[in-house]
Amino acid sequence: MRACAEIDLAAIAHNIASIRAKTKAQILAVVKADAYGHGLIPVAQTAVKSGAQWLGVALLEEAIALRQAGVNVPIISWLTTTGDDFEAALRNQIDLSISSLEIFDLVLAEARRIGIKPRLHFEVDTGMSRGGFLQQWPALINSAIIAAAEFTLVGLWSHFARADEPDEPMNQTQIEEFEHFRSDLERAGIKAQFFHQANSAAAMTNPQSHRDIIRIGIAMYGLSPALDTMGDSQSLGLIPAMTLKSRLVLVKKVPAGNSVGYGATAIVDRDTTLGVVALGYADGIPRNTSSAAKVSVDGQLAPIIGRVSMDQFVVDLGPDSIAKTGDWVVIFGKGGASVDTWATAAGTINYEIVTRIGPRVPRIYLPKN
């Protein structure tokens, strides 16, 4: 095996328990994008066993895969679009998020055709200007009144734009805007069973936002929503779940002055030992990662040198290294650098680092304690 991502399911269970202890709201575990790269089915099963009452995905096919794996808790699919297999969604009792009149009409038409009452969540735009009803909202209410007997309104929901900045006034503004949408429903005599707005950041910093359900994504995987405004994983009481490992496919001595990698962008400044790591941008290692990213070789940190290639990258092991071909190295995670360090070195966020680890890297699941 040239590489693997070890997924600590006990860490995921710990992170869910840590957040559950601080809220009265139900827990929705966000497992979209292959559970942020950690593996859809094993993570979803662990989340449910650890007390999550709901699961959330972006795409309908993710929700169907969960049903096919025997997961029976409520599942919300929120990136509902034209062309989706609404029949499969309805037959599998998958909750659909609705953020346009067009989708509302399509789902109801399919529901009438097959005789199954859909479970819907209306998404409203409280300031992010991404998904959710805004100018179409009054028209939706009118349509919902007319079709009230044809669907179950399970939820009303929205999403924060800046919850990872706990002191940002916009968070309170979005809470107030959500209340306006909620009041509109009440005046129209339309009842939603649940209200949800909080993501990981809001769940950990803003109890007012918790409502009936909190949606936890990045925190469930043990990573901070925002390093600069909320602190790191340890300060938040979270345990990172992913450890990425690979092997050195080659270790060799090179003299000072040698260039390294495509474009000869790096020059070794002394006689040293280089190691070739068997991962590249095809596996999710960012091509633009700088030398600030380091791997751990037998407990010693070695920086990247030169450009990341499609299948491999080079690290400077130092002149005195005793590493040898075939040795395992830790890219990030337990025993190595943090995901946050790698994100900083690549000019991105921790979400992207774990989510982009590709399918060529097998996931190995550590048993839950």
Query: The domain spanning residue 100 has which CATH number?
Result: 3.20.20.10
Distances (CA, A) of 68 to 54, 60, 61, 119, 154: 16, 12, 10, 19, 22
32 assigned to active site: yes
β strands within the chain, DSSP E: 3-8, 26-30, 54-57, 75-77, 95-98, 119-123, 152-157, 194-198, 213-216, 242-254, 259-260, 266-267, 272-277, 294-297, 300-303, 313-316, 328-332, 363-366
Q: Taking 70 as the threshold, does the pLDDT of residue 24 lie above it?
A: yes
Would you give the distance in Å from CA 212 to the centre of its chain? 21
262 assigned to active site: yes
d(CA 88, CA 60): 9
Record the tokens describing residue 280, joined without a space. Answer: 């590249």
Residue 213 resides in a domain = yes
Active-site residue identified among 22, 32, 191, 351: 32
Domain end residue (candidates: 177, 200, 230)? 230
d(CA 13, CA 52): 10
Tell me the pLDDT tens digit for each residue of 182-239: 999 999 999 999 999 999 999 999 999 999 999 999 999 999 999 999 999 999 999 9
Report which of 289, 329, 291 is spatially closest to residue 309, judged by C-alpha positions.
Answer: 289
Q: Taking 90 as the threshold, does the pLDDT of residue 368 lie above it?
A: no
* Domain shared by 156 and 293, yes or no: no
- What mean pLDDT is predicted for residues 278-282? 98
Domain end residue (candidates: 230, 253, 287)? 230
* Domain shared by 253 and 189, yes or no: no
Provide the domain limits for residue 74: 9-230
* Predicted local distance difference test score (pLDDT) of residue 195: 98
Q: CATH number for the domain including 259? A: 2.40.37.10
* Domain shared by 40 and 114, yes or no: yes
Tell me the pLDDT tens digit for each residue of 117-154: 999 999 999 999 999 999 999 999 999 999 999 999 99
Residue 174 resides in a domain = yes
What percent of the chain shows pLDDT beyond 90? 99
* Domain shared by 216 and 67, yes or no: yes
Structurally, the chain folds into a number of domains equal to 2
Record the tokens describing residue 331, joined without a space. Answer: 């890219």
**Mean pLDDT of the chain, nearest integer:** 97
pTM of the model: 0.96
Tell me the pLDDT tens digit for each residue of 304-353: 999 999 999 999 999 999 999 999 999 999 999 999 999 999 999 999 99
* Domain shared by 115 and 194, yes or no: yes
Residue 2 resides in a domain = no
* Domain shared by 139 and 160, yes or no: yes
Secondary structure (DSSP) of 160-194: -SSTTSTT-THHHHHHHHHHHHHHHHHHTT---SE
* Predicted local distance difference test score (pLDDT) of residue 367: 81
* Domain shared by 46 and 146, yes or no: yes
Tell me the pLDDT tens digit for each residue of 71-119: 999 999 999 999 999 999 999 999 999 999 999 999 999 999 999 999 9
Active-site residue identified among 49, 117, 262, 324: 262
Tell me the pLDDT tens digit for each residue of 45-79: 999 999 999 999 999 999 999 999 999 999 999 99
Q: Which residues of 283-313 are buried (b: 16+ CB within 10 A; e: fewer)?
A: bbbbeebeeebbbbbeeeebbbbbbbbebbb
Under DSSP, the state recorded for 69 is T
* Predicted local distance difference test score (pLDDT) of residue 369: 45
